[in-house]
Structure 1
Protein backbone atom coordinates (compact mmCIF):
# COMPACT_ATOMS: atom_id res chain seq x y z
CA UNK A 1 0.00 0.00 0.00
CA UNK A 2 1.19 3.52 -0.71
CA UNK A 3 0.45 7.03 0.57
CA UNK A 4 -1.08 9.02 -2.31
CA UNK A 5 -1.46 12.78 -2.53
CA UNK A 6 -5.04 13.97 -2.00
CA UNK A 7 -6.26 17.21 -3.50
CA UNK A 8 -8.44 19.48 -1.40
CA UNK A 9 -9.64 21.33 -4.52
CA UNK A 10 -13.41 21.31 -4.76
CA UNK A 11 -14.01 20.19 -1.18
CA UNK A 12 -16.95 21.84 0.53
CA UNK A 13 -17.00 21.88 4.33
CA UNK A 14 -20.49 21.63 5.80
CA UNK A 15 -21.75 21.70 9.34
CA UNK A 16 -22.77 18.33 10.75
CA UNK A 17 -24.20 19.01 14.23
CA UNK A 18 -21.28 21.31 15.07
CA UNK A 19 -18.54 19.42 13.25
CA UNK A 20 -17.39 20.62 9.83
CA UNK A 21 -17.15 17.64 7.46
CA UNK A 22 -15.69 17.60 3.93
CA UNK A 23 -17.83 16.81 0.89
CA UNK A 24 -16.78 16.38 -2.75
CA UNK A 25 -19.17 16.11 -5.68
CA UNK A 26 -16.98 13.52 -7.40
CA UNK A 27 -15.73 11.52 -4.39
CA UNK A 28 -18.63 11.61 -1.95
CA UNK A 29 -20.65 11.22 -0.03
CA UNK A 30 -23.29 11.07 -2.76
CA UNK A 31 -26.18 10.32 -0.36
CA UNK A 32 -26.71 11.92 3.03
CA UNK A 33 -30.33 11.15 3.86
CA UNK A 34 -31.32 10.26 7.43
CA UNK A 35 -28.00 11.69 8.67
CA UNK A 36 -26.10 8.81 7.03
CA UNK A 37 -23.34 9.20 4.46
CA UNK A 38 -23.12 6.74 1.55
CA UNK A 39 -21.64 6.58 -1.91
CA UNK A 40 -17.92 7.21 -1.90
CA UNK A 41 -15.62 6.92 -4.92
CA UNK A 42 -13.04 4.17 -5.13
CA UNK A 43 -10.25 6.75 -5.01
CA UNK A 44 -7.83 7.89 -2.31
CA UNK A 45 -9.97 10.96 -1.63
CA UNK A 46 -13.10 8.79 -1.55
CA UNK A 47 -11.45 6.52 1.03
CA UNK A 48 -10.44 9.52 3.14
CA UNK A 49 -13.93 11.03 3.00
CA UNK A 50 -15.54 7.69 3.85
CA UNK A 51 -13.21 7.18 6.82
CA UNK A 52 -14.10 10.63 8.16
CA UNK A 53 -17.86 10.50 7.60
CA UNK A 54 -18.39 6.95 8.83
CA UNK A 55 -16.16 7.29 11.90
CA UNK A 56 -17.80 10.59 12.90
CA UNK A 57 -21.31 9.14 12.50
CA UNK A 58 -20.45 5.93 14.39
CA UNK A 59 -20.42 7.95 17.61
CA UNK A 60 -23.00 8.22 20.40
CA UNK A 61 -23.13 12.02 20.16
CA UNK A 62 -25.63 11.93 17.27
CA UNK A 63 -27.96 9.37 18.87
CA UNK A 64 -28.81 5.77 18.11
CA UNK A 65 -30.80 6.80 15.00
CA UNK A 66 -27.44 7.72 13.44
CA UNK A 67 -24.78 5.54 15.04
CA UNK A 68 -26.95 2.39 14.89
CA UNK A 69 -27.53 2.29 11.12
CA UNK A 70 -24.03 3.62 10.47
CA UNK A 71 -22.42 0.79 12.40
CA UNK A 72 -24.88 -1.84 11.14
CA UNK A 73 -24.49 -0.91 7.47
CA UNK A 74 -21.02 0.62 7.14
CA UNK A 75 -18.76 -0.91 9.79
CA UNK A 76 -17.28 -4.34 9.22
CA UNK A 77 -14.73 -6.64 10.80
CA UNK A 78 -14.48 -8.92 13.80
CA UNK A 79 -15.14 -6.10 16.30
CA UNK A 80 -18.15 -4.51 14.55
CA UNK A 81 -20.66 -6.17 16.88
CA UNK A 82 -18.58 -5.13 19.92
CA UNK A 83 -18.53 -1.53 18.64
CA UNK A 84 -22.30 -1.52 18.29
CA UNK A 85 -22.69 -2.98 21.79
CA UNK A 86 -20.27 -0.47 23.36
CA UNK A 87 -22.00 2.46 21.61
CA UNK A 88 -25.45 1.21 22.74
CA UNK A 89 -24.23 0.95 26.34
CA UNK A 90 -22.51 4.35 26.35
CA UNK A 91 -25.52 6.00 24.75
CA UNK A 92 -27.84 4.42 27.30
CA UNK A 93 -25.73 5.80 30.14
CA UNK A 94 -25.62 9.34 28.70
CA UNK A 95 -29.08 9.67 27.15
CA UNK A 96 -30.79 10.69 30.38
CA UNK A 97 -34.40 11.83 29.81
CA UNK A 98 -33.97 12.29 26.06
CA UNK A 99 -36.15 10.12 23.82
CA UNK A 100 -34.51 7.01 22.37
CA UNK A 101 -32.54 7.97 19.28
CA UNK A 102 -32.13 11.65 20.22
CA UNK A 103 -28.75 13.28 19.80
CA UNK A 104 -26.80 14.16 22.94
CA UNK A 105 -25.84 17.65 21.74
CA UNK A 106 -23.64 19.46 19.29
CA UNK A 107 -20.10 18.40 18.56
CA UNK A 108 -17.17 20.55 19.59
CA UNK A 109 -14.38 19.05 17.56
CA UNK A 110 -12.34 20.26 14.61
CA UNK A 111 -10.78 17.91 12.09
CA UNK A 112 -7.25 19.23 11.59
CA UNK A 113 -5.51 16.76 9.30
CA UNK A 114 -4.53 13.20 8.49
CA UNK A 115 -1.67 10.93 7.54
CA UNK A 116 -1.86 7.90 5.27
CA UNK A 117 -0.50 4.68 6.63
CA UNK A 118 -1.30 3.08 3.28
CA UNK A 119 -3.74 3.04 0.40
CA UNK A 120 -4.78 0.60 -2.31
CA UNK A 121 -8.04 0.47 -4.31
CA UNK A 122 -9.20 -2.28 -1.92
CA UNK A 123 -8.05 -1.02 1.50
CA UNK A 124 -6.69 2.06 3.21
CA UNK A 125 -5.44 3.04 6.63
CA UNK A 126 -4.97 6.53 8.02
CA UNK A 127 -4.54 8.52 11.19
CA UNK A 128 -7.07 11.35 11.61
CA UNK A 129 -6.21 14.33 13.83
CA UNK A 130 -9.01 16.07 15.72
CA UNK A 131 -8.97 18.88 18.26
CA UNK A 132 -11.48 20.04 20.84
CA UNK A 133 -11.80 21.82 24.13
CA UNK A 134 -9.70 20.42 26.94
CA UNK A 135 -9.20 21.32 30.57
CA UNK A 136 -8.29 24.91 31.53
CA UNK A 137 -8.95 26.36 28.07
CA UNK A 138 -6.30 24.13 26.52
CA UNK A 139 -6.90 22.52 23.13
CA UNK A 140 -6.95 18.73 23.39
CA UNK A 141 -5.80 16.84 20.31
CA UNK A 142 -6.12 13.17 19.45
CA UNK A 143 -5.14 11.00 16.55
CA UNK A 144 -7.50 8.15 15.65
CA UNK A 145 -6.46 5.25 13.44
CA UNK A 146 -9.15 4.41 10.89
CA UNK A 147 -9.05 1.55 8.41
CA UNK A 148 -11.40 1.18 5.47
CA UNK A 149 -12.05 -1.61 3.00
CA UNK A 150 -13.85 -1.53 -0.35
CA UNK A 151 -16.80 -3.93 -0.05
CA UNK A 152 -20.14 -4.21 -1.84
CA UNK A 153 -19.54 -1.13 -3.99
CA UNK A 154 -18.55 1.33 -1.23
CA UNK A 155 -15.95 1.96 1.45
CA UNK A 156 -16.62 0.41 4.87
CA UNK A 157 -14.81 1.21 8.10
CA UNK A 158 -13.20 -1.70 9.88
CA UNK A 159 -14.30 -1.59 13.52
CA UNK A 160 -11.56 -0.47 15.89
CA UNK A 161 -9.82 -3.16 17.96
CA UNK A 162 -11.86 -4.16 20.98
CA UNK A 163 -14.94 -2.39 19.62
CA UNK A 164 -14.20 1.05 21.07
CA UNK A 165 -12.92 4.23 19.46
CA UNK A 166 -10.89 4.91 22.61
CA UNK A 167 -8.72 1.92 21.72
CA UNK A 168 -7.95 3.46 18.32
CA UNK A 169 -7.18 6.98 19.60
CA UNK A 170 -4.13 8.50 21.27
CA UNK A 171 -3.48 12.02 22.52
CA UNK A 172 -1.00 14.17 20.59
CA UNK A 173 0.46 17.61 21.27
CA UNK A 174 0.47 19.00 17.74
CA UNK A 175 -0.70 18.26 14.19
CA UNK A 176 2.90 18.71 12.96
CA UNK A 177 3.84 15.97 10.53
CA UNK A 178 0.27 15.47 9.30
CA UNK A 179 -1.35 16.73 6.10
CA UNK A 180 -3.43 19.68 7.33
CA UNK A 181 -6.87 20.27 5.91
CA UNK A 182 -7.09 23.50 3.94
CA UNK A 183 -9.94 25.96 3.46
CA UNK A 184 -12.27 24.16 5.78
CA UNK A 185 -12.19 22.43 9.09
CA UNK A 186 -8.59 22.63 10.25
Structure 2
Protein backbone atom coordinates (compact mmCIF):
# COMPACT_ATOMS: atom_id res chain seq x y z
CA UNK A 1 0.00 0.00 0.00
CA UNK A 2 1.37 3.38 -1.00
CA UNK A 3 0.47 6.10 1.53
CA UNK A 4 1.19 9.55 0.19
CA UNK A 5 2.26 12.82 1.76
CA UNK A 6 0.28 16.04 1.39
CA UNK A 7 1.44 18.38 -1.38
CA UNK A 8 -0.10 20.71 -3.92
CA UNK A 9 -3.45 22.42 -4.66
CA UNK A 10 -6.62 21.43 -6.61
CA UNK A 11 -10.02 22.55 -7.92
CA UNK A 12 -12.51 23.87 -5.46
CA UNK A 13 -15.49 26.17 -5.80
CA UNK A 14 -15.43 26.40 -9.60
CA UNK A 15 -17.16 23.04 -9.92
CA UNK A 16 -20.63 21.76 -9.16
CA UNK A 17 -20.85 18.10 -8.29
CA UNK A 18 -22.30 15.73 -10.83
CA UNK A 19 -19.90 12.88 -10.12
CA UNK A 20 -16.75 10.76 -11.47
CA UNK A 21 -16.12 8.80 -13.37
CA UNK A 22 -14.69 10.48 -13.39
CA UNK A 23 -13.44 13.27 -13.63
CA UNK A 24 -13.33 14.07 -10.03
CA UNK A 25 -14.60 16.75 -11.99
CA UNK A 26 -17.02 15.37 -14.50
CA UNK A 27 -17.66 11.89 -14.04
CA UNK A 28 -16.63 10.03 -14.00
CA UNK A 29 -15.05 12.05 -11.07
CA UNK A 30 -17.77 13.78 -11.32
CA UNK A 31 -18.79 17.23 -11.45
CA UNK A 32 -19.24 19.64 -14.26
CA UNK A 33 -17.04 22.76 -14.28
CA UNK A 34 -19.18 25.86 -14.13
CA UNK A 35 -16.74 27.68 -16.39
CA UNK A 36 -17.35 25.12 -19.14
CA UNK A 37 -20.87 26.34 -19.70
CA UNK A 38 -19.69 29.43 -21.52
CA UNK A 39 -16.83 27.88 -23.45
CA UNK A 40 -16.98 26.33 -26.93
CA UNK A 41 -17.50 22.59 -27.28
CA UNK A 42 -14.06 22.15 -28.81
CA UNK A 43 -12.21 23.13 -25.63
CA UNK A 44 -8.86 21.29 -25.80
CA UNK A 45 -8.21 18.41 -23.42
CA UNK A 46 -4.83 17.99 -21.78
CA UNK A 47 -3.53 14.45 -21.28
CA UNK A 48 -0.61 12.77 -19.59
CA UNK A 49 0.96 10.52 -22.21
CA UNK A 50 1.41 6.98 -20.91
CA UNK A 51 2.59 4.99 -23.93
CA UNK A 52 3.72 5.53 -27.49
CA UNK A 53 0.76 6.18 -29.77
CA UNK A 54 1.79 3.32 -32.04
CA UNK A 55 1.21 0.84 -29.23
CA UNK A 56 -2.50 1.61 -29.01
CA UNK A 57 -5.35 0.17 -31.03
CA UNK A 58 -7.73 2.98 -31.86
CA UNK A 59 -11.16 1.57 -31.00
CA UNK A 60 -11.53 -1.99 -29.68
CA UNK A 61 -15.00 -3.45 -29.51
CA UNK A 62 -16.56 -3.61 -26.04
CA UNK A 63 -19.50 -6.04 -25.81
CA UNK A 64 -22.20 -5.08 -23.33
CA UNK A 65 -23.74 -8.56 -23.04
CA UNK A 66 -23.85 -9.68 -19.42
CA UNK A 67 -23.16 -6.20 -18.06
CA UNK A 68 -25.40 -5.01 -15.22
CA UNK A 69 -25.93 -1.54 -13.74
CA UNK A 70 -26.06 -0.90 -9.99
CA UNK A 71 -26.63 2.21 -7.95
CA UNK A 72 -23.55 3.73 -6.33
CA UNK A 73 -24.71 6.64 -4.18
CA UNK A 74 -26.85 8.02 -6.97
CA UNK A 75 -24.64 7.02 -9.89
CA UNK A 76 -25.49 3.93 -11.94
CA UNK A 77 -22.24 2.06 -12.60
CA UNK A 78 -21.58 -0.92 -14.90
CA UNK A 79 -20.49 -4.29 -13.52
CA UNK A 80 -19.40 -7.49 -15.24
CA UNK A 81 -19.06 -10.90 -13.61
CA UNK A 82 -16.36 -11.72 -16.16
CA UNK A 83 -14.42 -8.45 -16.34
CA UNK A 84 -14.87 -6.72 -12.99
CA UNK A 85 -14.83 -5.31 -10.54
CA UNK A 86 -14.34 -8.62 -8.73
CA UNK A 87 -14.05 -7.09 -5.26
CA UNK A 88 -16.31 -4.27 -4.03
CA UNK A 89 -15.71 -4.65 -0.31
CA UNK A 90 -15.77 -1.45 1.75
CA UNK A 91 -17.35 0.47 -1.14
CA UNK A 92 -14.14 0.16 -3.19
CA UNK A 93 -13.66 -1.55 -6.56
CA UNK A 94 -10.70 -3.71 -7.62
CA UNK A 95 -10.03 -6.68 -9.85
CA UNK A 96 -10.44 -5.93 -13.55
CA UNK A 97 -9.42 -8.11 -16.47
CA UNK A 98 -6.63 -7.17 -18.86
CA UNK A 99 -9.10 -6.62 -21.70
CA UNK A 100 -10.75 -3.60 -23.34
CA UNK A 101 -13.88 -4.07 -21.25
CA UNK A 102 -11.82 -4.48 -18.10
CA UNK A 103 -9.95 -1.25 -18.88
CA UNK A 104 -13.18 0.64 -19.51
CA UNK A 105 -14.77 -0.62 -16.30
CA UNK A 106 -11.65 0.27 -14.32
CA UNK A 107 -11.58 3.79 -15.75
CA UNK A 108 -15.19 4.32 -14.69
CA UNK A 109 -15.06 2.77 -11.22
CA UNK A 110 -11.71 4.15 -10.11
CA UNK A 111 -12.39 7.68 -11.30
CA UNK A 112 -15.80 7.77 -9.63
CA UNK A 113 -14.43 6.48 -6.33
CA UNK A 114 -11.54 8.94 -6.40
CA UNK A 115 -14.09 11.73 -5.87
CA UNK A 116 -14.05 13.36 -2.45
CA UNK A 117 -17.87 13.19 -2.21
CA UNK A 118 -17.83 9.66 -0.77
CA UNK A 119 -15.52 10.64 2.10
CA UNK A 120 -11.93 9.68 2.94
CA UNK A 121 -12.78 6.02 3.60
CA UNK A 122 -13.36 5.71 -0.14
CA UNK A 123 -11.34 8.37 -1.94
CA UNK A 124 -8.15 7.97 0.10
CA UNK A 125 -7.54 4.22 -0.49
CA UNK A 126 -8.74 4.58 -4.07
CA UNK A 127 -6.22 7.29 -4.89
CA UNK A 128 -3.43 5.81 -2.76
CA UNK A 129 -3.70 2.33 -4.22
CA UNK A 130 -5.28 2.76 -7.66
CA UNK A 131 -4.02 6.09 -9.00
CA UNK A 132 -0.46 6.29 -10.29
CA UNK A 133 1.87 8.76 -11.94
CA UNK A 134 3.64 11.98 -10.94
CA UNK A 135 0.37 13.82 -10.23
CA UNK A 136 -1.25 11.22 -7.97
CA UNK A 137 -0.04 12.91 -4.79
CA UNK A 138 -1.49 16.25 -5.86
CA UNK A 139 -4.84 14.59 -6.62
CA UNK A 140 -4.96 13.10 -3.13
CA UNK A 141 -4.14 16.40 -1.45
CA UNK A 142 -6.72 18.17 -3.59
CA UNK A 143 -9.42 15.66 -2.66
CA UNK A 144 -8.63 16.06 1.04
CA UNK A 145 -8.76 19.85 0.82
CA UNK A 146 -12.00 19.84 -1.15
CA UNK A 147 -13.60 17.41 1.28
CA UNK A 148 -12.67 19.51 4.31
CA UNK A 149 -13.96 22.64 2.63
CA UNK A 150 -17.32 21.13 1.67
CA UNK A 151 -18.21 18.85 4.57
CA UNK A 152 -19.37 21.75 6.75
CA UNK A 153 -20.82 20.52 10.04
CA UNK A 154 -20.79 16.86 9.05
CA UNK A 155 -18.66 14.54 11.19
CA UNK A 156 -15.17 14.03 9.86
CA UNK A 157 -15.14 11.04 7.50
CA UNK A 158 -18.83 11.16 6.63
CA UNK A 159 -19.88 11.10 2.97
CA UNK A 160 -21.30 14.31 1.50
CA UNK A 161 -24.44 12.76 0.04
CA UNK A 162 -25.72 11.24 -3.17
CA UNK A 163 -24.68 12.36 -6.63
CA UNK A 164 -26.84 13.37 -9.55
CA UNK A 165 -25.04 12.27 -12.67
CA UNK A 166 -25.55 9.87 -15.56
CA UNK A 167 -22.79 8.12 -17.48
CA UNK A 168 -23.87 8.39 -21.10
CA UNK A 169 -21.10 7.08 -23.29
CA UNK A 170 -17.44 6.70 -24.15
CA UNK A 171 -14.94 6.86 -27.00
CA UNK A 172 -11.54 5.20 -27.12
CA UNK A 173 -8.46 7.28 -27.77
CA UNK A 174 -6.49 4.07 -27.77
CA UNK A 175 -6.05 0.67 -26.12
CA UNK A 176 -3.32 -1.89 -25.58
CA UNK A 177 -2.91 -4.62 -22.96
CA UNK A 178 -0.46 -2.28 -21.19
CA UNK A 179 -2.31 1.05 -21.30
CA UNK A 180 -5.47 2.69 -22.56
CA UNK A 181 -7.02 6.12 -22.96
CA UNK A 182 -10.76 6.70 -23.07
CA UNK A 183 -13.09 9.72 -23.15
CA UNK A 184 -16.08 9.38 -20.81
CA UNK A 185 -19.25 11.43 -21.23
CA UNK A 186 -21.32 12.27 -18.17
CA UNK A 187 -24.37 14.46 -17.71
CA UNK A 188 -25.77 16.28 -14.72
CA UNK A 189 -28.10 19.12 -13.77
CA UNK A 190 -26.96 22.64 -14.57
CA UNK A 191 -28.51 26.05 -13.96
CA UNK A 192 -32.20 26.57 -14.77
CA UNK A 193 -32.77 22.79 -14.92
CA UNK A 194 -30.61 22.53 -18.04
CA UNK A 195 -28.68 19.29 -18.52
CA UNK A 196 -24.94 19.86 -18.70
CA UNK A 197 -22.61 17.35 -20.37
CA UNK A 198 -18.86 17.01 -20.12
CA UNK A 199 -16.29 14.65 -21.56
CA UNK A 200 -13.36 13.59 -19.41
CA UNK A 201 -10.25 11.86 -20.71
CA UNK A 202 -9.09 9.05 -18.42
CA UNK A 203 -5.90 7.06 -18.91
CA UNK A 204 -5.20 3.70 -17.31
CA UNK A 205 -2.14 1.46 -17.09
CA UNK A 206 -1.84 -2.23 -16.30
CA UNK A 207 0.31 -2.45 -13.20
CA UNK A 208 0.60 -5.00 -10.40
CA UNK A 209 -2.01 -7.31 -11.89
CA UNK A 210 -4.76 -4.68 -12.24
CA UNK A 211 -5.63 -1.46 -14.05
CA UNK A 212 -4.61 1.83 -12.41
CA UNK A 213 -5.74 5.32 -13.38
CA UNK A 214 -3.02 7.78 -14.31
CA UNK A 215 -3.41 10.91 -12.19
CA UNK A 216 -4.46 13.99 -14.20
CA UNK A 217 -1.87 16.69 -14.92
CA UNK A 218 -1.37 18.92 -11.89
CA UNK A 219 -3.71 16.79 -9.79
CA UNK A 220 -6.81 18.36 -11.31
CA UNK A 221 -9.27 16.99 -13.87
CA UNK A 222 -9.98 20.49 -15.18
CA UNK A 223 -7.44 20.16 -17.98
CA UNK A 224 -8.69 16.67 -18.89
CA UNK A 225 -12.35 17.65 -19.27
CA UNK A 226 -14.33 19.76 -21.71
CA UNK A 227 -17.98 20.60 -22.41
CA UNK A 228 -19.83 18.55 -24.99
CA UNK A 229 -23.23 19.23 -26.55
CA UNK A 230 -24.33 15.66 -27.21
CA UNK A 231 -23.22 12.04 -27.34
CA UNK A 232 -22.90 12.09 -31.14
CA UNK A 233 -19.73 10.24 -32.08
CA UNK A 234 -19.56 8.34 -28.79
CA UNK A 235 -20.56 4.77 -27.98
CA UNK A 236 -23.72 5.03 -25.87
CA UNK A 237 -23.90 3.01 -22.69
CA UNK A 238 -26.93 0.71 -22.82
CA UNK A 239 -29.63 0.38 -20.20
CA UNK A 240 -28.82 1.99 -16.89
CA UNK A 241 -25.97 4.10 -18.14
CA UNK A 242 -27.82 6.31 -20.55
Same fold (TM over 0.5): yes
Whether 1:61 and 2:100 are equivalent positions in the alignment is no
Q: Aligned-pair RMSD on alpha carbons?
A: 0.6
Q: Structure 1: state its 5+ residue gaps.
A: none
Runs of 4+ in 1 over 4 A off after TM superposition: none
Whether 1:50 and 2:129 are equivalent positions in the alignment is no
- The Cα of 1:167 is off from its aligned counterpart by 2.4
In the alignment, the residues of structure 2 paired with residue 33 and residue 73 of structure 1 have an alpha-carbon distance, to the nearest angstrom, of: 14
Cross-structure match for 2:198: 142
Q: Over residues 95-149 of structure 1, what are the superposed CA-to-partner deviations in whole Å (9 max), with x where a residue is unaligned?
A: 1111122111101000000000000000000000000001111100000000000
Partner of residue 178 from structure 2, selected from 122, 144, 148: 122
Q: Map 1:16-35 onto structure 2 (within 5 A).
A: 16-35=72-91
In the alignment, the residues of structure 2 paired with residue 60 and residue 164 of structure 1 have an alpha-carbon distance, to the nearest angstrom, of: 12
Aligned-partner SS, 2:241: coil
Q: Structure 2: state its 5+ residue gaps.
A: 1-55
Aligned-partner SS, 1:130: strand
In the alignment, the residues of structure 2 paired with residue 101 and residue 43 of structure 1 have an alpha-carbon distance, to the nearest angstrom, of: 35
- The Cα of 1:74 is off from its aligned counterpart by 0.2
Q: Which moved more, 1:93-102 or 1:41-50?
A: 93-102
